[in-house]
Amino acid sequence: MSSSSFLLTAFIIYNIAFLGFVISVAGRKFAVDDPAAYSRRWGNISLGLTVAGFLAHVVFFITRWAEAGHIPTSNMYEFMTFLGMMTTLAFIVLYLIYRAAVLGIFALPISVIIIAYASVFPREVQPLIPALQSYWLKIHVTTAALGEAFFAVGFAAGILYLLQAVDFSAKDKASRREQRGVEFTLFTLLTVISFVVAVFGFNAAGYHASFSNEVTYVDSNKVEQTVTQTVEYVLPPIFKPHEGQLIEMKPFFGMTDAPFEAPSWMEGSNAGRKLNTVVWSLLLGTLLYALLRLVLRKSLGAALQPLTKGMDNEDVDEIGYRSIAIGYPIFTLGALIFAMIWAHEAWGRFWGWDPKEVWALIVWLFYAAYLHLRLSRGWQGKKSAWLSVIGFLIVMFTLIGVNLIIAGLHSYAGV
């Protein structure tokens, strides 16, 4: 049995556990005798399923490690599946402390989305490049991912708090601003989901396109070299590589060539393809959001708000804070301290202003500000929830946007 089979098993179980948490929360109104006992019973069942899925995920991680011969966190597929596993672990830890079934409705989908996102990237086992052949790979990546996983649970708690606290029927300026903030956050998640669905859909349809273009780089002897590379597209090319030449393209709605070319200032490997991915994700995310609004005939936040009825806002606020309080020191160790030590060993410097390093620092500074404002200024409730949501959106950009948009030493996006 291959490692991917265990990941698929975990993915399916997580989805079933999510449905169990939905039943635990939404089904209370049908439990006439003892709604609390009903919710607790389904919550325990869902927790058991979540743990079973997590164990299957751990088996995937171990078998993948055996197949690769090194810890499986060296590319986007491996790192994102590991992040999904750590997010589930963080949720289990917080659930065992607070027993808030409604948290599962918002935390587990994050794990599911992360795993689905990981699955669009190449899954082949790849040998480690020299810079990654270090024991620091295990230390740096695992601790950074665990810290981000607790931030993800804090994000889920923040969304949960805002869905309950924001008045979606109000028309005043402040309320409309809050409503737009919640909608933007949900739209961002839909954009990631749309990207995943699009890649799987076009893959299933056998779509392909390829271009060639010349790339100039400086080799280890500081000599400028120009090579011709072939760029493979999974999504129909709206943007082709700068000065790229079409090799082969399956027609799509009459398109026999890309209508636009990536701008020359977009440097780095496969810049045109990454721009194409971003554009497709935004287009499909907008379409999915519009369809949901049309079907629901209300904002997504207003549609989700009934799920939050009966929860204790103070508990949710506390969950969000505790998640970030646990994740911050772990992230500090993994993403900054261990990363700088490894960077010195690999590249001879502690800091180099690489885009991923810069954005990791931005994440660290933002959550430092969150904890400072929470502890010294008393920013609780809505203010705290907004900060936890914004913070994880920055984390998402660091994980996804930097790889797709900005070239750098850490940039290894494949779609």
Residue 187 has pLDDT above 90, yes or no: yes
* Partner residues linked to 377 by β-bridges: none
Tell me the pLDDT tens digit for each residue of 282-322.
999 999 999 999 999 999 999 998 888 777 888 899 999 99
40 with 125, same domain: the answer is yes
Mean pLDDT taken over the chain = 87
* 197 inside domain: no
Q: d(Cα 362, Cα 62) in Å, to the nearest integer? A: 32
Tokens of 409: 């030493």
Helices (H), 251-354: 271-296, 300-304, 313-331, 338-347
* 359 inside domain: yes
Q: How many domains does the chain contain in total? A: 2
Least confident range from 80-94, 261-275, 368-382: namely 261-275
Least confident range from 123-132, 147-156, 270-279, 302-311: namely 123-132
Share of the chain above pLDDT 70, in %: 91
pLDDT at 414: 47
10 with 140, same domain: the answer is yes
> Which of 259, 285, 311 lies at the terminal end of a domain, its last residue?
285
* 292 inside domain: no
145 with 53, same domain: the answer is yes
> Which of 222, 255, 285 lies at the terminal end of a domain, its last residue?
285
260 with 310, same domain: the answer is no
Mean pLDDT on 8-23? 94
Helices (H), 69-135: 76-98, 101-118
pLDDT at 408: 43
* φ and ψ of 162, to 5 deg: -70, -40
Q: Which of 386, 394, 390 is nearest to 174 (CA)?
A: 386
* 80 inside domain: yes
Who wins on pLDDT, 412 or 354? Answer: 354
271 with 320, same domain: the answer is no
pTM of the full predicted structure?
A: 0.88
Who wins on pLDDT, 133 or 243? Answer: 243
Residue 412 has pLDDT above 80, yes or no: no
* 413 inside domain: no
* 204 inside domain: no
Q: d(Cα 108, Cα 274) in Å, to the nearest integer? A: 28
180 half-sphere exposure, CB direction, 13 A CA radius: 7
68 with 103, same domain: the answer is yes
* 366 inside domain: yes
322 with 375, same domain: the answer is yes
Written as one letter, the residue type at 141 is V
Residue 1 has pLDDT above 70, yes or no: no
Mean pLDDT on 102-110? 91
Q: pLDDT band at 221, cuts 50/70/90?
A: low
Residues 6+ apart with CB under 8 A from 384: 158, 161, 317, 320, 321, 370, 374
Q: d(Cα 349, Cα 344) in Å, to the nearest integer? A: 4
Q: Residue 280's domain spans which residues?
A: 209-285
pLDDT at 220: 57
Residue 264 has pLDDT above 70, yes or no: yes
Who wins on pLDDT, 87 or 354? Answer: 87
Tokens of 140: 């740096």
Mean pLDDT on 230-254? 87
pLDDT at 353: 79
Q: pLDDT band at 405, cuts 50/70/90?
A: low
Q: pLDDT band at 112, cuts 50/70/90?
A: very high
28 with 153, same domain: the answer is yes
* 290 inside domain: no
Mean pLDDT on 91-96? 94
Residue 346 has pLDDT above 80, yes or no: no
Mean pLDDT on 130-155? 87
Residue 249 has pLDDT above 80, yes or no: yes
CB of 80 closer than 8 Å to CB of 118? yes
Residue 133 has pLDDT above 50, yes or no: yes
Residue 217 has pLDDT above 90, yes or no: no
Q: d(Cα 139, Cα 308) in Å, to the nearest integer? A: 38
29 with 163, same domain: the answer is yes
Q: pLDDT band at 373, cuts 50/70/90?
A: very high
Q: Which of 94, 52, 57 is nearest to 72 (CA)?
A: 57
* Partner residues linked to 349 by β-bridges: none
Who wins on pLDDT, 346 or 146? Answer: 146
* Partner residues linked to 246 by β-bridges: 211
> Which of 224, 251, 285 lies at the terminal end of a domain, its last residue?
285
3-state secondary structure of 8: helix
3-state secondary structure of 133: coil
271 with 389, same domain: the answer is no
14 with 106, same domain: the answer is yes
Q: Whose structure tokens read 């989908």? A: 109
User: 257 to each of 205, 248, 249, how far by Cα in Å?
Assistant: 19, 9, 7
* φ and ψ of 363, to 5 deg: -60, -45
Q: pLDDT band at 409, cuts 50/70/90?
A: very low
12 with 112, same domain: the answer is yes
Residues 6+ apart with CB under 8 A from 180: none
